[in-house]
Amino acid sequence: MIELGVNIDHVATLREARKGVEPDIIAAAKICELAGAHQITVHLRQDRRHIQDRDVELLAQVLQVRLNLELAAVDEIIGIAHRIKPAVVCLVPENRKEITTEGGLDVVTQVKRLKDVVSGFQDKGIKVSMFIDPELDQVDASAETGADYVELHTGAYANAADVDILGEVDRIANAAARAIGAGLIFNAGHGLTIRNLPPIAAIPGLNEVNIGHSIVSRALFLGLDQAVEEILMILEEFSL
Ligand code: PXP
């Protein structure tokens, strides 16, 4: 089965709009889990604009499914992740002014440092994913760091004009094949929806997708459990 990680940052964004307690992020995570999600994904940003340290601590305690913590490879956040020990960390680029994660991590220019970051996590039993653009040099560099997974950034695909969509799917499929050949597990995410998911789900070897904004948006109208279930139905259709 192609697995689903639900990114619940957007639930925390709504809560932080009032700096209160609603909507309850733990309730959201548990509803996703009950609906069949395989993983809960959160991004503890340096500016703490949505997910807070306490959220990560509580999620690590109450989840039965995996917790995937997205983070920038900076000492402060790495230290928090070492202490909380999520099942997986996903290294992402972070730019303070961006609205969402724009583009993948540039692994090529920092292989040496990232090798140490990866082994530091793996020594603690934490698996490591690299969130990268679907480019062969970034895949090769990710393999060199010793990472367990690559999550290929599907943002350019999701935003592509009709004429460019097939080219973007090819780019992701080529990078995926290169990753699998190098012994990496291939995940994908960013900008995926019930409409644009099928061509990505059909790429051979896909292990997991992480989806946030569309699920949380559709949850307003359908309920969170239904919004998770409709994605799971598509993934099931494309699973072996
Ligand atoms: N995967 C990663 C690494 C991300 O940073 C994000 C966005 O926070 C997602 C997946 C989910 O993207 P979206 O919210 O567009 O579904």
What HEC string does 9-68 produce? HHHHHHHHCCCCCCCCHHHHHHHHHHHCCCEEEEECCCCCCCCCHHHHHHHHHHCCCEEE
- Note the pLDDT of residue 98: 75
* CA 153 to centroid of ligand 1, rounded, Å: 8
**pTM score:** 0.97
- Give the percent of the chain with pLDDT over 70: 100
What pLDDT is stored for residue 95 in this prediction?
Answer: 81
According to CATH, the superfamily of the domain at 3-239 is Aldolase class I (3.20.20.70)
Distance from the CA of 54 to the center of ligand 1, in angstroms? 21
- How far apart are the C-alpha atoms of 36 and 34, rounded to whole Å? 5
Active site residue 43: yes
The catalytic residue among 10, 151, 190, 208 is 190
Averaged over 105-134, what is the pLDDT?
A: 98
Burial (CB count <10 Å: 0-12, 13-18, 19+), residue 213? middle
CA distances from 38 to 100, 168, 188, 208 (A): 23, 27, 14, 9
Residue 101 alpha carbon, nearest atom of ligand 1: 5
Known active-site residue 70:
yes
Residue 183 tokens read as 């012994």
For the stretch 156-197, pLDDT in tens is 999 999 999 999 999 999 999 999 999 999 999 999 999 999
State if residue 213 touches ligand 1 by the CB under 6 angstroms criterion. Answer: yes
Cβ of 94 below 6 Å from ligand 1: no
Looking at residue 97, what is its pLDDT? 75
pLDDT at 101 over 80: no
Question: What digits encode the pLDDT tens for the residues 64-85?
Answer: 999 999 999 999 999 999 999 9
Q: What is the mean pLDDT of residues 203-230?
A: 98
Tell whether ligand 1 has an atom less than 6 A from the beta carbon of residue 5. Answer: no
The answer, yes or no, to whether any atom of ligand 1 lies below 6 A from the CB of 217, is no
Q: Is the pLDDT of residue 102 over 80?
A: no
Centre of ligand 1 to C-alpha 146, Å, is 23
**Catalytic site includes residue 153:** no
Show me where the domains of the chain are located.
3-239
Q: Catalytic one among 3, 10, 33, 43?
A: 43
Report the percentage of the chain scoring pLDDT > 90: 96
Residue 190 CA: which ligand 1 atom is closest? 12
For residue 5, what pLDDT is reported? 99
Residue to probe by mutation, ligand 1, list 91, 92, 101, 186, most atoms within 8 Å of CB: 101
pLDDT of residue 148: 98
Would you say residue 145 has pLDDT above 80?
A: yes
Residue 234's pLDDT band (cuts 50, 70, 90): very high
pLDDT-derived band at 41 (thresholds 50, 70, 90) equals very high
Distance 229 CA to ligand 1 centre (A): 18
- For the Cβ of 156 lying below 6 angstroms from any atom of ligand 1, the answer is no
